């Protein structure tokens, strides 16, 4: 059954929310990873099983997020025009980065200090080096780096879109290129084409720490090449797909195949990488090429499979999914200091690890959903971040307003 534009938005909004919420799961798992401590604290119940909650989402969640961001980005520029699009992105993406970075960085820093002092009996050991100075090259963007990367993608995408529209009126070439690319992506070859750029980077990079996948560009204002390639391709693919709705329907039909391939490739990656974080770069003599190919294919197979599955099962309206989608941006923006503080509180309690992991997630979601409902959903904060929303019983906005893609 064909899906109209509004139905597709229900599904893709849910996919975007899933990508953001998986980030909370991933960060909650980091205190429970075995091996050397890499986070604010290491729980006494750390065990290899928790590594799956980090490894598996990290393979695909941000590729999935930037793919959906590109899709909604092109939709927004089509509705708002060039100037309106840039103004809207400045308001909803750039301004939250500027406004929230300071308070969130302070909360994250406080959690790190608390965890450090707790691990050392409340005192700073002699010889502890001072923290590095904050400079443009070393500034920690924290988990808000995704907003900065979105800004870097939106500006050239908007300019290229403007140029393409002008060129299309004169030659029609951009439309023909769009159609040619769509034809290639409609086949199984499309998965290989999408995965190839980051797979080749993995293979040729001498410092690819394979256990951690695509390196996170969370420090400084010059993102690493791997992240630019991986997420730039995802954003560009989403932007292009928005103009070729038939592609989504093709992926909708192929979702079981893509999910099966994702599971197989992910299983191979987990087998090769193991469940303990590895800080040694992958080397050619240790199956690097096959691991690079499997990781890249898993990333895109999950992205296409989840998108297709959402179109198959989540295209209808659901109040619960709608609420989760609306709240997910706020939840992800605000979650990290709270997650870290809870991890420090629970780190030395002799409780089962799964119970503590579940508590970190449950308390975080309850607190942040409560704050969203009370402080954000119908307030100026909600109007700023997500667009204005009428309270129950008030005059309802038009369907076009309800479906406006105002989040990243």
What is the DSSP code string of 43-57? -TT--GGGHHHHHHH
| Residue 140 phi, psi (nearest 5) | -75, 115
Give the least confident one: 159-163, 272-276, 347-351: 159-163
pLDDT band with cut points at 50, 70 and 90 for residue 336: very high
**Per-residue pLDDT at 79:** 92
**Is residue 405's pLDDT more than 70?**
no
Helices (H), 129-188: 145-170, 173-185
Cβ neighbours for 181, distance < 8 A, ≥ 6 positions apart? 240
**Is residue 8's pLDDT more than 60?**
no
Nearest to 66, CA basis, from 231, 213, 227, 217: 231
**Per-residue pLDDT at 388:** 81
**Per-residue pLDDT at 337:** 98
Average pLDDT rounded to a whole number, residues 252-267: 95
pLDDT digits (tens, 9 = 90+) for 101-149: 999 999 999 999 999 999 988 888 877 787 777 777 889 999 999 999 9
pLDDT band with cut points at 50, 70 and 90 for residue 168: low
CA distances from 74 to 71, 162, 207, 237, 382 (A): 6, 11, 34, 11, 23
**Is residue 404's pLDDT more than 80?**
no
pLDDT digits (tens, 9 = 90+) for 55-114: 999 999 999 999 999 999 999 999 999 999 999 999 999 999 999 999 999 999 999 999
215 vs 124 pLDDT, higher one: 215
Q: Per residue in 153-180, is it b (16+ CB within 10 Å) or e — as a string?
A: bbeebbeebeebeeeeeeeeebeeebee
Helices (H), 274-318: 288-313
**Is residue 339's pLDDT more than 70?**
yes
What pTM was computed for the model? 0.92
Q: How far apart are CA 80 and CA 88, in angstroms?
A: 9
**Is residue 201's pLDDT more than 60?**
yes
pLDDT digits (tens, 9 = 90+) for 225-253: 999 999 999 999 999 888 776 788 888 88
Intra-chain end-to-end CA distance of the chain, in Å: 28
**Is residue 3's pLDDT more than 50?**
no
Cβ neighbours for 37, distance < 8 A, ≥ 6 positions apart? none
395 vs 25 pLDDT, higher one: 25
Mean pLDDT, the chain, integer: 89
Residue 299 near residue 66, CB atoms below 8 Å: no
**Per-residue pLDDT at 354:** 98
pLDDT band with cut points at 50, 70 and 90 for residue 5: very low
Average pLDDT rounded to a whole number, residues 195-209: 96
């Amino acid at each position: 059954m064909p899906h109209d534009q509004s139905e597709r938005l229900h599904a893709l909004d849910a996919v975007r929310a899933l990508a953001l919420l998986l980030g909370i799961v991933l960060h909650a798992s980091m205190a429970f990873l075995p091996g050397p401590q890499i986070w604010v604290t290491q729980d006494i119940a750390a065990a290899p099983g928790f590594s799956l909650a980090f490894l598996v989402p990290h393979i695909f969640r941000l590729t999935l997020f930037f793919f959906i961001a590109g899709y909604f980005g092109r939709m927004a520029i089509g509705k708002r025009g060039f100037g309106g699009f840039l103004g809207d992105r400045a308001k909803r993406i750039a301004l939250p980065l500027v406004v929230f970075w300071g308070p969130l960085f302070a909360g994250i820093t406080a959690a790190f200090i608390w965890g450090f002092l707790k691990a050392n009996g409340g005192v700073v050991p002699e010889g502890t080096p001072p923290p590095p100075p904050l400079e443009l090259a070393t500034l920690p963007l924290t988990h808000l780096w995704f907003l900065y990367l979105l800004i870097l993608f939106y500006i050239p995408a908007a300019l290229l879109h403007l140029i393409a529209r002008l060129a299309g009126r004169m030659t029609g070439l951009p439309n023909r290129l769009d159609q040619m690319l769509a034809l290639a992506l409609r086949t199984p070859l499309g998965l290989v084409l999408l995965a190839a750029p980051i797979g080749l980077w993995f293979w040729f990079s001498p410092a690819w720490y394979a256990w951690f996948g695509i390196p996170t560009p969370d420090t400084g204002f010059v993102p690493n090449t791997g992240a630019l390639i991986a997420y730039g391709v995802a954003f560009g693919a989403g932007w292009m797909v928005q103009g070729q709705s038939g592609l989504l329907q093709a992926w909708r039909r192929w979702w079981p195949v893509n999910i099966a391939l994702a599971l197989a490739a992910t299983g191979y990656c987990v087998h090769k990488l193991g469940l303990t974080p590895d800080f040694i770069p992958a080397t050619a003599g240790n199956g690097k090429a096959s691991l690079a190919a499997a990781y890249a294919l898993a990333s895109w197979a999950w992205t296409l499979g989840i998108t297709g599955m959402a179109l198959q099962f989540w295209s209808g309206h659901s109040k619960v999914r709608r609420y989760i989608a609306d709240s997910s941006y706020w939840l992800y923006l605000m979650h990290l200091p709270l997650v870290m503080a809870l991890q420090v509180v629970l780190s030395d309690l002799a409780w089962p690890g799964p119970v503590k992991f579940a508590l970190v997630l449950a308390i975080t979601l309850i607190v942040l959903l409560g704050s969203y409902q009370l402080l954000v959903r119908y307030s100026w904060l909600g109007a700023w971040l997500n667009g204005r929303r009428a309270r129950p019983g008030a005059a309802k906005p038009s369907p076009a307003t309800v479906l406006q893609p105002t989040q990243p």
